A and B are shown apart, each in its own frame.
Chain A
Amino acid sequence: MKSQQDLLMVLSDCVVDMEDDSVSEVAEEYIAAGYPALDGILKGLVDGMQKAADLYEQQEYFIPELLVCADAMYNGLDVLRPHLEQADSSKKHKVVIGVVEGDTHDIGKNLVKIMLEAAGYETYDLGRDVALHRFIDKAKEVDADVVAMSTLMSTTMPGMGEVIELLKAAGIRNRVKVIIGGAPISLAFAQKIGADGYSANAVDAVKLVDRLIGDEAVVLGA
């Protein structure tokens, strides 16, 4: 029988090497051997996805690789998740994410969502062409930590600023971090509309959220 360490490495490799078919078998084997599911997820699948993100940063991987790696991760998750003990009580941070009203291009948003999930965030995906008030409604409903918006079209950028105004009007602006992204978006625009952050790609988006949430933790702990 393979050691847990060996199987974790194989799980990780399955994800980073885009073995989206064989990952399920490995995950089954891992569970059959009686190892804890949570380790399999965090030290196996998520570790692989993190490596994929590193390769993306090194420009070795691109959108297709990230998406196939994610497929492998999700296939593995399907096997491991049912075996999680209730003990997974570590409170996950919640991200409400969507493409703003007027735009139907969502591949970039999907990538950000995948990377956030791989990093342990709980995402609420509103989809594309999302009516602006729905960001606020959902943020309130799930008590979100982050609102993430994207657009590919410069014509729909103003909607992002409106969402921030709506969050203020609803009195929850100080409870959520707002991040934005998409081809026509820049740091300057993010600052102009009073967003908390901007990232140029999905991998950076995770770092950005980590940092923003981290800041908050520091503030809260202080």
Chain B
Amino acid sequence: MPEITIMPEEIKIPYEPGENLLEILLRAGAFVENPCNGRGVCGKCKIKHQKGLLPPFSEEEQSFLNAGEEDIGVRLSCMVEPREDITIELMQKEKEHDVLTTGFIPKFKKRPAIKKETFFLSPPTLENQIAYEDIMAFASEGGPADWRFLQHLPQNPGTCTAVYSGEKLIAVESGDTTGQMYGFAIDIGTTTVVVALIDLVTGEELGAEAAINAQKNYGLDVLTRIAYILEHPVFGRKQLQAAIVDSLNDMMRVLCESVGVDPGRIYEITVAANCTMLHLLLGVDAVGLGKAPYAPVFTRSKNIPAADLGLIASPGARVYCLPSVSAYIGADIVAGAYVAELDKQKDNVLFIDIGTNGEIVLSHQGRLLSCSCAAGPALEGMNISAGMRAAAGAIEDVKISPSGVELKVIGGKKPIGLCGSGILAAVRELLLHGLVRKNGAFVKKIILPGDDYRNNIMVEEGNKRSVRFAEQPEISITQGDVRQVQLAKGAILSGFHALLAKAGIPMDELDKVMIAGQFGAHLPEESLVGTGILPQGLEGKIVYIGNSSKTGAYIALMSVEARKEMEKLAKEMDYMELSASEGYQKLFVECLQFPYSRVRHQKSQAVGR
């Protein structure tokens, strides 16, 4: 039996002739990209041939190779059938996929809105001086609606490719370009923007970029940005729109360049974002969102020309914005609810996206009820004495024990502050070790035994108490910090209880809690339950679904059916305005209580004596 040897590892794969090289390699578990599944259309399954005899290049195979590749032995593995001993080298490494592929993706029917068809264009002749737009008429009933299409019409006769968005003709390209069809799935968060380049043919994510939302210069949170527009009625709206469009274009350009995709082959961009971010992206007045009665200008999905927003893409490309429910339950949450399949749940499931605003959706056997709570920025490290964003030097986890304090620092560096997950972990530990009482107040040092390990970290200056985790720079949690966390926790937990009460579901009938969002993904169960953001008794029922907003945008890009379902889901989701609900103050105040501290009364050194 002949053998294939993979270099430099010298892995030997014996094989029966009769199959192509790709099939043999895949079966043996070697990594070769093959988005088109060996159908010979994507040109991705390249390997480097070193020794041994392979059949000669076919014209088809050559058409997929770049200049010079043929000379160094690059072959398309799906197009060659080896018969003898050969030695090859793999050309790709398995990449670490981003959140999108590691996060939860439900099953959906793959059918992008964008499709391509080839046709043969007969040239006009002297006898028949027909205009190109008329030749093209057959490709689209009545021709394309947008005259700008003519600016990009190729005049090369022969094989052409028509690009459609639904039934609408959006572009015509020379040659057969059916294998090149790309789109972007975008999640615009108030803080972070994520853009993923997607191959519409295969559904593969080719790359992703994340960046801080450039609108941060106009305010860190949604309300401040709206206030900016109020204060700058002439230019404010345009400035905010330009900020996000420019940063999206930058990210898309970088992605296209790094992956090697022509921006002209981008035909659709799907966007999931909160309601305010969508208003700002489309240059629509967002002022109504920032004031009671919190009325948005639009909540329905939008399908508009990308050129209208100035986004780089094929001239006919479309932008699809997912639908929202209300001012504070945006398309990001609709996307998340769809990804979590909340409308299909038979159980009682709670979905939470934790951020400056915590959005919560309760699925009561498929019926959806949502609310939004003003958690404030404490959980993102703001308004906290030693708070910072999650970046190198941020403490992301803390453990207190009789032998001292153990810190986990992002980037393994010297700690310079606490990020959101670190703050929560710190408060969790303070509660766990009885340094903070149920009502959120620090214990007085006087109640601690003289030789207690907690004396080492607790600092008391008059009535001011704090717990110190690091020195130079000093990083402490103060009483004020605990109060900030308490307010955030109270806001989220009260939303949680309000929804359950409204649906008439007792806590023990809750089957699952799904945590969405990049931030939530960094909050372990023990912190969420340990600080009482989520009630006790939910341990083991918590699952993390990653950036479900981006996943939702991705699915909308890949499936028109999913879009319909998202639109239906948005329409059917009910919303309750917490601040206006009966008895909310009482509930909020109850929810400010921390869980009973489960103090492990370690007697520290006293035990051994």
Residues of A whose CB lies within 8 Å of any CB of B are: 58-65, 67, 101-107, 110, 128-129, 152-158, 183-184
Contact = CB atoms under 8 A, between A and B. Distances in A.
A101 B226 CA distance: 16
The interface centre, meaning the residue of A106, A128, A155 with most chain B CB atoms within 10 A of its CB, is A155
A156 B291 contact: yes
Place the interface of chain B in its size category: 20 to 34
Nearest to B589: A64
Given A102-B292, A103-B292, A65 B439 contact: yes
Given A58-B463, A62-B439, A155 B223 contact: yes
Contacts of A128: 579
A107 B292 contact: no
A34 B222 CA distance: 59
A99 to B, nearest CB: 9
17 contacts: A59-B441, A59-B464, A59-B465, A59-B479, A60-B463, A61-B439, A62-B592, A105-B374, A107-B585, A153-B290, A154-B219, A155-B227, A155-B230, A155-B290, A155-B291, A158-B231, A183-B376
Contacts of A154: 219, 223-224, 226-227, 290
Nearest to B586: A67
A64 B291 contact: no
A190 B395 CA distance: 36
Contact of B287 (A60, A63, A155): A155
Contacts of A184: 223-224
Given A58-B463, A154-B223, A67 B579 contact: no
A159 to B, nearest CB: 9
Contacts of A106: 579, 585
Interface in B214-239: 219, 223-224, 226-227, 230-231
Given A61-B441, A153-B223, A183-B376, 14 more contacts: A59-B479, A62-B441, A62-B483, A62-B592, A67-B585, A103-B292, A104-B580, A129-B292, A152-B374, A153-B290, A153-B291, A154-B226, A155-B287, A184-B223
B589 A67 contact: yes
Contacts of A102: 290-292
B223 A104 contact: no
A153 B227 CA distance: 9
Contacts of B479: 59
B585 A110 contact: yes
B589 A104 contact: no
B460 to A, nearest CB: 12
A152 B374 CA distance: 10
A64 B593 contact: yes
B486 interface: yes
Contact of B589 (A58, A63, A157): A63
Contacts of B590: 64
B441 A158 contact: no
Interface in B581-609: 585, 588-590, 592-593
A68 B463 CA distance: 22
A197 B434 CA distance: 39
A111 to B, nearest CB: 10
Contact of B291 (A103, A107, A110, A183): A103
B35 interface: no
B374 to A, nearest CB: 7
A121 B287 CA distance: 36
Contacts of A65: 439
Interface in B425-458: 439-442
A101 B290 CA distance: 11
A62 B440 contact: yes
A100 to B, nearest CB: 10
Nearest to B580: A104
Contacts of A103: 291-292
Contacts of B579: 104-106, 128
B577 interface: yes
Contacts of B73: none
Contact of B588 (A60, A107, A129, A157): A107
A129 B293 CA distance: 9
A171 B231 CA distance: 27
Shortest beta-carbon contacts, A-B, top 10: A102-B291, A155-B290, A59-B479, A104-B579, A58-B463, A154-B227, A64-B589, A129-B292, A154-B223, A104-B292
Contacts of B227: 154-155, 157
B143 to A, nearest CB: 46
A102 B288 CA distance: 9
Contacts of B463: 58-60
Contacts of A60: 441, 463
Contacts of B588: 107
B480 interface: yes
Contacts of A107: 585, 588-589
A73 B46 CA distance: 80
A161 to B, nearest CB: 12
A6 B579 CA distance: 42
A91 B287 CA distance: 44
B480 A59 contact: yes
Nearest to B486: A62
Nearest to A111: B585
B568 to A, nearest CB: 30
A105 B577 CA distance: 11
B485 to A, nearest CB: 12
Contacts of A104: 292, 577, 579-580
